[in-house]
Amino acid sequence: MQIKFLNKSIINNEMKQKKFWSWIGSFPFFPLFLTIYSILFFLNLNITQVDYHAADRLLTILPAITLFLLIIMSVVLRDIRRAGFVVFVFGLIFFTYPHVRMVIQGKIPVLANDNILLPLSIILLACGILFATKLSREKMATLSLYLNAITLILALIQLSLILVYEYKMDARWRNADLQIPASSNIVPPRNGTLPDVYFIVLDGYARADVLQSALNLDNSPFLDALRKRQFYVADCSMSNYAQTEQSLASTLEMKYLDGIISKINVDHLEEKFFVPYIRDNTVRRYLESVGYQTVSFFTGYSWAEWPDATYYLGDPRASAKNASSLIPFEGQFLSRTLFPFMMTGLEAIGIVKAPQINELTGRGVDRGIVRYELDELPVVTHLRGPKFVYAHILLPHPPYVFGPNGEEQDLSTDNSNLALLHQGYRDQVLYANKRILPIIDTILAESKGNAIIVLEGDHGIVDYTTGTEHMKNLSAYYFPDHNYSDLYPQITPVNSFRVILSNYFGQNYPSLGDQSYFAATSAQKTFTLIPNPCPGH
């Protein structure tokens, strides 16, 4: 009898375990997996531009919202699996609506109308609810099991691709061929005080002659204002590289990149390949070794940032005060879902206002980053002690979201409309000019003139100029003693900090020959040498 009782008890336990795992397997995890998959898929598409932490808040908030909807629907339908299927259908519509709309626009333009597609989406959701209520519990459990498996596999595939990419990139960074600074000794400055060093990069800011010929924009008032403030303006400067990451790496490492690129054993380059030479560069390491604090700003492009600087400013995720502000990755993700259409509907009934929608899904995110950097640069001047300030400002580079006086606009960056491109670029040059001059005045006033300022475009006008025109960049310098004898009109950025470290810190960095290498995209490994057409070069 005891043996029979034990056998029956074991069988009961096994049945209970089987039922438990069967219930777990058919529990509707698939709406959560779909949400996670959608975020990871978008992260994987943009992994060369951002670090994986860009998705952290989305991976926290959106699954929580999905779970909340699941609980609400389970109360309404009184069945967790039916609720899961309804939330899953809504998730499919939410994450795919703009993409489906785009496909229909190319195939059947007349149907690519929100007045048609939104009602169809509502009908599809209603059909999902009807299907969920009509399907038997047993079949719904089986369907849940299959949907769990499919969505989990999809999410794991994206996660594995991201992890493999990050592992390979981390290995590449660890093996980076970094220079050793010439020495950590400095020649004490004549006034006994180390100068503040500002490296201000206006992304895509072209040389004056290009602005005049391409845009009919006379930039002499701005350049004359710089000269009045004792700046040296290199009238014939050209960038060493046409892509931002290569230009920044070359400038801060003070060398050409042919040796680095030749060791990259892949067919196509990526922006992140140059992170060690931008983030852990020779100039920064030397200045930190002699007591400088570093200041850097959030831009939304992780490969161009110094998140490990003494002061890393502007990341809304790091401040409770700015926690509601989005980073570009988050804004771009939401703009590719049903979210903007839902917000427009809420605006129509007066629940939200247009500016609030723009801050979440439009170009307000881009404006916020640029404005923060321009607003905080004067504040940084109050930091005590010698400081090396690196400010990469996305002006006048697209997107074209500022008018000439800083007013909000959103001009198309479609290359087929050159007139609109020219207007957008021109407007943002004028806006940059108006913002930069007061910043320079504050730097000079707070430092009492004891500052080194490198103000440059990392390259010239992007997208719609020839190779030669693309390379012609703004290049201006301020030295505390106004001794510019080692500067010359054709100087390129690779020599900027060679002159500075040699003349003001007692280092030995002879100038290199000034050369410009053009590649049309960041992926290209082959470059075209662009001669400088200036006389005497």
Please tell me the total count of domains within the chain: 2
The answer, yes or no, to whether residue 480 has pLDDT greater than 90, is yes
The answer to whether residue 141 sits within a structural domain is yes
Instruction: Clarify whether residues 117 and 216 are in a common domain.
Output: no
- Does 97 share its domain with 205? no
Q: Are residues 280 and 420 in the same domain?
A: yes
Q: How confident is the model at residue 458 (pLDDT cuts 50, 70, 90)?
A: very high
d(CA 239, CA 223): 18
Res 485: pLDDT: 95
Domain boundary residue among 156, 171, 186? 171
Last residue of a domain, one of 171, 205, 221: 171
| pLDDT for 183 | 54
Structural domain range at position 277 = 196-292+366-530
- DSSP E strands in 134-222: the ranges are 196-202
d(CA 12, CA 354): 61
Q: Is 205 a domain residue?
A: yes
Least confident of 100-114, 329-343, 472-486: 100-114
Residue 223 vs residue 8, higher pLDDT:
223
Q: Give the tens place of pLDDT for each residue, 235-269.
A: 999 999 999 999 999 999 999 999 999 888 888 99
**Is the same domain home to 413 and 286?**
yes
87 within domain boundaries: yes
Question: Given a cut of 80, is residue 8 above it in pLDDT?
Answer: no
| pLDDT score of 181 more than 70 | no
Helix (H, G, I), strand (E, B) or coil at 298: coil
Residue 312's Cβ-count burial label (10 Å; 0-12, 13-18, 19+) is middle
Phi then psi dihedrals of residue 131, to 5 deg: -60, -45
**Residue 500, in any domain of the structure:** yes
Do 58 and 158 sit in the same domain of this protein?
A: yes
- Residue 469, pLDDT > 70, answer yes
Tell me how crowded residue 167 is: count the other CB atoms within 10 A of its CB. 10
**Do 451 and 515 have their domain in common?**
yes
In this model, does residue 7 exceed pLDDT 80? no
In a domain, 535, yes or no: no
211 shares a domain with 162: no
Residues 470 and 521 placed together within one structural domain of the fold? yes
**The CATH number of the domain where 470 resides is what?**
3.40.720.10
How far are the Cα atoms of 28, 309, 373 from residue 370, in angstroms, in the given order?
43, 19, 5
CA distance 413 to 397: 10
Q: Is residue 402 included in any domain, yes or no?
A: yes
Same domain, 66 and 161: yes
Residue 536 is assigned to a structural domain of this protein: no
pLDDT value of residue 121: 82
Report whether pLDDT(313) > 70.
Answer: yes
Residue ending a domain, choose from 171, 206, 241: 171
Considering the domain architecture, whether residues 477 and 517 belong to the same structural domain is answered as yes
24 and 153 in a common domain: yes
In a domain, 303, yes or no: no
Report the pLDDT value the prediction gives residue 90, as an integer from 0 to 100: 93
Task: Please say whether the beta carbons of 252 and 283 come within 8 A.
Answer: yes
Residue 89 has pLDDT above 50, yes or no: yes
Whether the CA torsion 363, 411, 465, 209 is positive or negative: it is negative
The two structure tokens encoding residue 418? 């050159």
Same domain, 214 and 164: no
